[in-house]
Structure 1
Amino acid sequence: MPASRAVVPTAHASRYLQQLCKHWGHKFEVSFDPAQGRVKLPFGPVDLLADDVALTVTCTIEGDGDLARMQQVVADHLNRFAHREGELAFAWQPLA
């Protein structure tokens, strides 16, 4: 299963995690609390972990899907929520 992770520096990690989960909760199965969340997209889950200095985002493809596209969709949504902060830095790293 292709997967990648980005540790995104931000002091607002919990806020963005909850916003993304609430936003996608209308279309997909989600579970979340202030520190962690999971969105079950049709092609695989997005897992989120928030702490005081960063939001860790893990994207996993299960079956057919485009990991690069998944990363872009997640980053685009989170950047919309972070518009006051400016563009967030996503340095995606492949997971073995």
Structure 2
Amino acid sequence: MAPLRAEANVDTIVPDRYLVQLCKHFAPNTPAAYSEAEGRAEFEFGHCTLQAIGKGLMLVVEAEDESSLAQVQRLVSTYLEKSMWRERPTITWIRRG
């Protein structure tokens, strides 16, 4: 079975800053790799890839089942909202498959 996938594009003038900050936050507890342009965090229940594109941060999460996908989405959304508290981001997940 192909993994389930959801994407969100979050507007910000400093996507690279939040990409690095989010990956650094996850790194002590889960494998995470990143540069200023892209990153990836591997959780036990799924993974998230991040890409800084222009004035936005593209998030892609994948997991094997609905429950795990929702868990990755919640985790990434929660920490991104905390990091971006000044900007009050809108994170809208769109299912892709």
Moved more, 8-17 or 66-75: 66-75
Q: CA deviation at 1:29?
A: 0.6
Instruction: Give the distance between the partners of 1:6 and 1:64, measured in 2 at CA.
Output: 17
Distance in 2 (CA, whole Å) between partners of 1:74 and 1:12 is 17
SS at structure 1 position matched to 2:54: coil
The separation in 2 between residues aligned to 1:29 and 1:62, in whole angstroms, is: 18
**Runs of 5+ consecutive residues of structure 1 not aligned to the other structure:** none
Q: 1:73 deviation in Å? A: 1.5
Residues in 2 aligned to 1:42 and 1:65: alpha-carbon distance in whole angstroms: 13
Q: Is the 8 A contact 1:36 1:47 kept in 2?
A: yes
- Map of 2:95 onto structure 1: 94
- For residue 36 of structure 1, the aligned residue among 38, 41, 46 is 38
Q: What is the one-letter code of the residue matched to 2:92?
A: A
Check whether the contact 1:6–1:91 (CA below 8 A) recurs between aligned residues. Answer: yes
Residue type at the aligned position of 2:10 = V
Partner SS, residue 26 of structure 1: coil
Identity of aligned residues (%): 29
1:1-96 paired onto structure 2 within 5 Å:
1-62=3-64, 65-85=67-87, 87-96=88-97
Distance in 1 between the 2:43 and 2:61 partners? Answer: 10
How far off is 1:54 after superposition?
0.4
- List gaps (5 residues or longer) in structure 2: none
How far apart are 1:68 and its partner, in Å? 2.0
TM-score, normalized by length of structure 1?
Answer: 0.90
